[in-house]
Amino acid sequence: MKEQERINSEQEVEIRYERILTLFFSGRMPRFNHARHIAVANILSHLPHGRELMHLGLQVTATRAGAPEKYSPEITDRYWSQLNGELPDLAEFADVFV
């Protein structure tokens, strides 16, 4: 993929999933379960520094929930290496677009 195509693709992902990413990075993602965690990770896998952004978002989420000790970089890295990179259907997050 050419550099400009890659940049355009990344921008499209950011625009399409902006609401989801905003909620995730603010630690306010509703119903944030394992399935949503993986879906967000698959979105972030399409962005520069996606792994680092995943770590950041999970740290914020755990801290806002009052349980910063629940965040584990090791677990996040293990799951990151198992991602399929498939972008989730926005319908999976229909509740965040209401």
Query: In this structure, how many other beta carbons lie within 10 angstroms of the beta carbon of residue 88?
Result: 17
| pLDDT for the residue numbered 98 | 83
> What does the domain layout of the chain look like in residue ranges?
3-89
Name the token pair of 41. Answer: 């990770």
H-state helical runs in the chain: 3-16, 18-25, 34-44, 50-64, 73-80
Averages of pLDDT over each 10 residues, the chain, 98 residues:
84 96 96 94 96 96 94 92 95 93
pTM (predicted TM-score): 0.91
Judge whether 87 and 43 are in contact, CB under 8 Å: yes
How many angstroms separate the CA atoms of 34 and 12, rounded?
A: 25
Which pLDDT score, from 0 to 100, does residue 7 have?
78
